[in-house]
């Protein structure tokens, strides 16, 4: 097993090195810091972009408390506890780091916005490995994954190259819904993962349309402010999932569940059509 783990990390490292060789560098655009809504309220510069990070801090702290208060989330594995602890620590830190960044947006403060996000992203991958593949492998992967996220930020800051950070951010966005659909879950309420992924996708769209949304709303709220609120729905939905779920007795993937449901629907439609056809034949005058 240890050899397979080493081999997997080796393959991942080789793929990363090849990617770094064949793709051009991605420097940090300084236009990124030029947000649409730069209004000052109550002496707070860029006020709405600062204040809209508050939900991250609240949800992160609530999640941390519930992880340890009487095992409210009923986490059955030690690795799960560590993974969710790292996740909620990252979420709470996003509330602080992103607010700090938006007070004075530049590359130096952006570090403290992105660093906690990478902790949250990488923790999610480790949690999926623990729940759906193997607890030991997932637990071992927590530290290397978080370190990979931190290194991606350090690399960007020193070499002005966003490629490693882009991988850390977007690989979980692809891996999370795929793993949620294809791999059998340990717990019920697995569809909450897809809701979380959907809200994060909407958040990225709002981030890309910051100025457009600001104009559409007649300068009431910007896309970036809404991006914070939609992104905060990710840990909120995952917290609801943890509170409601229970151990899954019949472990089957969402894909298999959907196939079974679709088959039953088709069989139901066929039965209804057959019943209707028979009634029509019976009721026809002789």
The domain that holds 144 is classified in CATH as: 1.20.1070
**pLDDT tens digits for 175-188?**
788 888 888 888 88
19 lies in some domain: no
User: Is residue 59 one of the residues assigned to a domain?
Assistant: yes
The tens digit of pLDDT for each residue in 91-139 reads 999 999 999 999 999 999 999 999 999 999 999 999 988 888 888 888 8
Q: Is 33 assigned to a binding site?
A: no
Give the number of other Cβ atoms within 10 Å of residue 220's Cβ: 11
22 contact partners, CB below 8 Å, separation of at least 6:
none
Q: Residue 24: inside a domain, yes or no?
A: no
Half-sphere exposure (Cβ direction) of 22: Cα atoms closer than 13 Å:
6
Number of separate domains in the chain: 1
Retrieve residue 214's tokens. Answer: 């600001």
Does residue 261 sit within a domain? no
Whether 247 has a pLDDT exceeding 60, the answer reads: yes
Domain limits at 217? 46-250
With respect to residue 174, please indicate whether it lies within any of the assigned structural domains. yes
Backbone angles phi, psi at 105, to 5 degrees: -70, 115
Look at residue 4 and tell me if it is in a domain: no
Residue 223: inside a domain: yes
| 122 domain-assigned | yes
């Amino acid at each position: 097993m240890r050899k397979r783990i080493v081999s997997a990390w080796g393959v991942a490292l080789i793929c990363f090195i090849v990617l770094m060789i064949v793709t051009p560098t991605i420097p940090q655009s300084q236009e990124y810091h030029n947000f649409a809504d730069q209004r000052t309220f109550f002496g707070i510069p860029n006020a709405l972009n600062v204040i809209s990070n508050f939900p991250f801090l609240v949800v992160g702290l609530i999640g941390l408390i519930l992880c340890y208060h009487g095992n409210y989330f009923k986490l059955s594995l030690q690795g799960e506890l560590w993974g969710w602890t790292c996740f909620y620590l990252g979420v709470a830190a996003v509330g602080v780091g992103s607010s700090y960044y938006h007070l004075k947006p530049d590359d130096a403060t952006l570090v403290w916005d992105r660093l906690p996000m990478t902790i949250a992203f990488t923790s999610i991958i480790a949690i999926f490995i623990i729940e759906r593949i193997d607890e030991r492998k997932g637990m071992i992967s927590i530290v290397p994954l978080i370190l990979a996220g931190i290194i991606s930020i350090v690399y960007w800051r020193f070499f002005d190259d966003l490629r490693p950070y882009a991988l850390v951010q977007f690989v979980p966005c692809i891996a999370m819904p795929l793993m949620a659909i294809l791999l059998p879950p340990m717990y019920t309420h697995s569809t909450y993962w897809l809701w979380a992924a959907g809200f994060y996708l909407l958040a990225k769209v709002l981030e890309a349309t910051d100025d457009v949304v600001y104009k559409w709303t007649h300068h009431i709220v910007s896309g970036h402010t809404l991006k914070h609120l939609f992104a905060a729905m990710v840990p909120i939905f995952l917290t609801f999932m943890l509170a409601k779920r229970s151990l899954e007795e019949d472990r089957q993937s969402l894909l298999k569940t959907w196939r079974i449901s679709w088959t039953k629907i088709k069989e139901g439609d066929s039965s209804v059509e057959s019943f209707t056809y028979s009634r029509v034949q019976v009721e026809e005058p002789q």
